Structure formats: structure tokens, C-alpha cells
Amino acid sequence: MSEEKSRRGFLEILLGSSAVMALSAVLYPIFKFITPPKTAEANLSQLKLSFTRAEIELEAQKAKYFKYGKALGIIFINEKNQLKAMDATCTHLDCTVQHRPDLGILWCSCHNGRYGLDGTNISGPPPRPLSTYAVKEVDDVIFVSKGDS
Amino acid sequence: MNNTDSPLMKWFDTRFKINALIEYMSNKSVPTHSHSSFYYLGGISLFLFIIQVVTGILLLMYYRPGADSAYESVQFIISNVSFGWLIRAIHSWSANLMIFFVFLHMFTVYFTKAYRKPRELTWITGMGLFVLALSFGFSGYLLPWNELAYFATRVGTGMAGAIPLIGDDIMTIMRGGEEVTGATIGRFFGLHVAILPGLFTLLLSLHLIFVQRQGMSEPVAWSAKPEHKKKYMKFFPSFILRDLLVWMVVLNVIAILAVFFPDGIGVVHWPLGEKADLFSPPPAVIRPEWYFMFAFQALKMLPAHVWFMEGELFGILLFTIGGVIWMIVPFIDKDAGQNKRSKAFTYFGCFVLAFILFMTVYGYLVE
């Protein structure tokens, strides 16, 4: 009887574990399929912007956006007439920040997050400062690169 | 009511025993009391879901997912296709009304404690349907690929990214990449028209089977009432006919709203607006749909850091805990299961309702 029971128990374990394995064999490819393949990060040492300072000045908010690899950046003219560039993605919940020359801040309208013009988070929900880009102006051409301005 | 005389009914009855089903339904009864009107709320939500399935299928004939085609196809539907504006308006109105009636249904069930034993699983499946209904709203919002939808989706999926350890992976799976792009539309589209309807139908079937097997819940106070003082009406045909009448009223209300306010009214609106532009900042006034407003406002009010956690994570954690408690209420409210009044749970419900109402109204006022 007990031998009978242990044989049954063994078969149940066998059946149970094959069920788990069969299920994993179905679920694993599904999970991997829905995870998008990683695209390689563009290895940029610097980026030449397609617009000039004059074009930024023409904008009402004295700012323009650019793509740096996969990241969205913002370049603006501050109160000292300097060009500053930083990450445009709010560190709170991924919204896009905008330059508010009237308030002297970078502002995220989604949750009223405020950053100083150097990228530091000053009020509202953003937990971290925005990362900055170094800006170089050669003649009329603007170059941005990762790192402090 | 015996229809076996009709040849058609006879034909069906010999094959499917229709009369047994009619017999079963005519023996069912629905309690009649001062809150009997609550019994229609679930049916109204069901009817609104059916309208969305029908209008959704119609919209599918012209809608084309993709960053270069989604916005243009919706524009084509509302400006070129005959009655396209009407179909989209009915789809949006019934969606918003469904969420409203689902909220109403959930709170009336909660406050009348209809979730109590033996209806725990009806409550759980209902909560599942509630979550799916909100997911329908969230995934459908992105599909027109307009400015508001784009930023709402970035924020919404960004919230998933705030979950520690697995957040980034969940966000990437939701977005179909690291950013909200055309790939995200593809995913949300699949979710909105295939995955969610499938899951919803499955849960809805279970929910309806449970309701049919157990009948309508009687008020808690009825347990102390003598049998002869309890009043009932027959489920078939009395309740069913009333149900159908209410559905006709709802259909007419939707028709009026869709014709006179095709883009919605006040805070319940869905103008197509500008096409999503990845290189432009969000508009100054950005807000989610009204049923997400309370969560949006609560997150907005949280400081950057709470204790050792980032504010957003703290908020998400709080909502998750609240949601889980809400879901398992039938199992923790033991008093209601014994037909006793459980005041603590009534107060908890009042708090949740007051929080949602206050945050929603406040959210619109502070703009």
C-alpha cells in the first residue's frame, strides 16, 4: 500500500513538474517576445545642431529641442545671454520640460515641477536634477556633448 | 408563461430544453426595497460595454495604428467618413459613461455590503472588470496620437517605471521601447482591441454567471425582517423588462449627448487637437481623463521625497495598498458576512469616496 502511495506520489511530482516545465516553455518565449529588442545607444561624442543661435532667439520661449541619441534635450538662452543645454525629460514622470524665461526656470507642466536654469530641481515633485550638456559655439554652429556646461 | 405552443419554441425546446431555462428564470426573483434602483447599475454598465464593442468594431474599419497614420486616420474618420464623427462620439461617450456607472455600481455594492458572503467572488471579478475598464480607457486614450494623449501616456507609463527593480522592464514592455513612439501605439492598439476585450469577456462571463446563480443580494437589514414583509418581483419578465427600458433610456441619452456634444462637454472632452510632436513641450494645461484625476492630483501634491522614498513611488505604493484592501474587503469584513452592520468598513468606504471626490474637484480647481 505504502509502496503504491509512494509510486503515486512520484508520478504526481513527475506530472506536476512537467506541467510547470510545459507552461514555462510556453510563457518564456511570450515574455521574451513582448520585451522589445535593445537598440544600440548611438555613441555620440558630440552633436552638431541643425539650427543656429539666431533661430533659438526667434522662438517665443527662446528654446529649442534636439535629439541626442535616444534622449530628448533642450537648448535655451539664459538671462546672461548664454546658451545652456540639458536633458528635456523631467526626472519625475518623464514629461517634457519647457523654458520659461518669464519665470527664469525650466518648467514641467505635467505636475508643476520646477528646475533652476542650471538644472537643479527647486520645487514640485521632481526628485533629481536634470543632467546637463556642454555647449560649444563655433562661428554660427552649435555643438552639444555629454557633461557639464 | 408557457410558450411551448409556438412551433418555433417547440423546435428549440426539443433540442435545447428552452422551457427549463425559462422555468429557471421565472422562479428567480429580485428584492424590492428603497434601494432597488441600484440593481440596474451593473446592467447599464454591461449595455454601455456592448455599445463600445459595436462602435469599436466600426472604428476599426478606418483606424490605422502607427505614428504616421493614427492621427490622420482619426481625422479622416471624423471629417470624411459618413457619420464617422457620430460613431467616435458614441464610442467616447459610452466609454466615459461606462466608467461612471462602474464607479457607481462599485460604490453602491460596497455601501450596501452586497459583497458579503457568499458573493466574495462576484466582488473580486467585479474589481477585475473595474481595473480592465480603466485599462481600456488608458490604452484607448493614446490611439488618436494627439498631443494630450502622447504626454498622458508618457506620464502614465512613467509611473510604471517608478516601481523599483522591475519598473524599467515593465515600462519598456508597455512602451515597446524606451520612449513613447509608434511602437507604443501598436502595443496599446493590440491591448485595446484584442487582449483587453478577451480578458474582459472572460471575467464578465464569470461575473454574470455568479450573479445568475446567486441572484441579487438582499439588504443587510432584511435578515431580521419577517418573510411576509419582504417584497420581491419576478426576474423574468418583470425585472428584465425594466432593465431593457433603462437601456433604452441610456441609449437615448447617449444619442442626444453624441449629437449635441460630439467632442464632449466641460472636463469630459476628447477634441482631437494637435498631432503628437516629440519636439514640443506639453501644453500648459495638461490633465488626464477625469477618472484618473484624483490619482494625478494626489501624485502632484506629494513632495519629491517622502521618508527614504521618492514621492511618486510612495504614492504608487499607497494606491496599491489601498487597492488591495479594497479588493479583499469581503474576506476581512467578517461582520457583514454574518449580516451585522460593519461600521468601520462603511467609514473606510466614506473616506475613499471623499478622497476621490475631493482630489478630483481640487485637481480641476487648482489649474
Interface contact B155-A93, CB threshold 8 A: yes
Interface contact B151-A92, CB threshold 8 A: no
The answer to whether A119 and A129 have CB atoms below 8 angstroms apart is: yes
Interface contact A93-B312, CB threshold 8 A: yes
Helix, strand or coil for residue A46? coil
User: Is 80 exceeded by the pLDDT of residue B285?
Assistant: no
Q: What are phi and psi of B91, to 5 degrees?
A: -60, -45
Cell of B79: 471629417
- What is the pTM assigned to this prediction? 0.87
Give the pLDDT confidence of A74-95 residue by residue, as tens digits.
999 998 999 999 999 998 888 8
- Closest chain A C-alpha to B178 CA, distance in angstroms: 8
CATH of the domain at B125: 1.20.810.10
Helix, strand or coil for residue A26? helix
What pLDDT is attached to residue B158? 87
The CATH topology of domain A47-146 is Rieske Iron-sulfur Protein (2.102.10)
What pLDDT is attached to residue A42? 67
Question: Chain A residue with minimal CA distance to B181?
Answer: A70
Instruction: Tell me the mean pLDDT in the region A96-114.
Output: 91
Interface contact A35-B154, CB threshold 8 A: no
Give the pLDDT confidence of B125-182 residue by residue, as tens digits.
999 999 999 999 999 999 999 998 899 898 889 888 888 889 889 999 999 998 899 9
Cell of B160: 510604471
| In B134-280, beta strands by DSSP E | 231-234, 264-265, 268-269
Site from B166, B286, B297, B306 to mutate, A interface, most A CB atoms within 10 angstroms = B286
User: Is 50 exceeded by the pLDDT of residue B1?
Assistant: no
Nearest CB to A96; choose among B169, B176, B281: B281
Interface contact A127-B311, CB threshold 8 A: yes
Q: Identify residues of B whose CB sits under 8 angstroms from chain A CBs.
A: 151, 154-155, 157-159, 161-162, 169, 172-173, 176-179, 183, 278-286, 296, 299-300, 302-305, 310-312
Cell of A81: 545671454
Q: Identify residues of A whose CB sits under 8 angstroms from chain B CBs.
A: 34-36, 39, 61, 65, 67, 70, 72, 88, 92-98, 109-112, 121, 124-127
From chain B, the residues in CB contact with A110 under 8 A are 151, 155, 282, 286
What pLDDT is attached to residue A76? 95
Q: Flag whether B109 is in a domain.
A: yes
What pLDDT is attached to residue B2? 53
Inter-CA distances, B52 with A136, B32, B44, B200, B281, Å: 55, 31, 12, 13, 33
Residue type for B317, please? L
Terminal CA-to-CA distance of chain A, rounded, Å?
81
Site from A96, A98, A100 to mutate, B interface, most B CB atoms within 10 angstroms = A96
R_g (Cα) of chain A, nearest Å: 27
Cell of B299: 501624485
What pLDDT is attached to residue B319? 93
Any idea what DSSP says for residue B195?
A: I
Interface contact A109-B283, CB threshold 8 A: yes
Interface contact B176-A109, CB threshold 8 A: no
Instruction: Tell me the mean pLDDT in the region B64-69.
Output: 94
B69/B189 Cα distance (integer angstroms): 13
Helix, strand or coil for residue A108? strand
Any idea what DSSP says for residue B62?
A: T
B185/B143 Cα distance (integer angstroms): 6
Give the pLDDT confidence of B287-305 residue by residue, as tens digits.
889 999 999 889 888 887 8
From chain A, the residues in CB contact with B162 under 8 A are 93
Task: Report residue B314 CA to chain centroid gap.
Answer: 26
Domain containing B94: what range? 35-216+232-271+287-365
Any idea what DSSP says for residue B27?
A: H
User: Is 80 exceeded by the pLDDT of residue A1?
Assistant: no
Give the pLDDT confidence of B195-215 residue by residue, as tens digits.
999 999 999 999 999 999 999
Residue type for B28, please? K
What pLDDT is attached to residue A92? 86
Of A3-12, B62-71, B197-206, the one with minimum mean pLDDT is A3-12
What pLDDT is attached to residue A94? 85
- ipTM for the assembly: 0.72
Q: How confident is the model at residue A3 (pLDDT cuts 50, 70, 90)?
A: low
Bridge-based pairing of strands A141-146 and A132-138 is antiparallel
Q: Flag whether B11 is in a domain.
A: no
Helix, strand or coil for residue A76? strand
Q: How confident is the model at residue B22 (pLDDT cuts 50, 70, 90)?
A: confident
Site from B279, B292, B297, B313 to mutate, A interface, most A CB atoms within 10 angstroms = B279
Q: CA quadruple B105, B110, B112, B113: dihedral positive or negative?
A: positive
User: Is 90 exceeded by the pLDDT of residue B120?
Assistant: yes
What pLDDT is attached to residue A45? 82
What pLDDT is attached to residue B342? 87
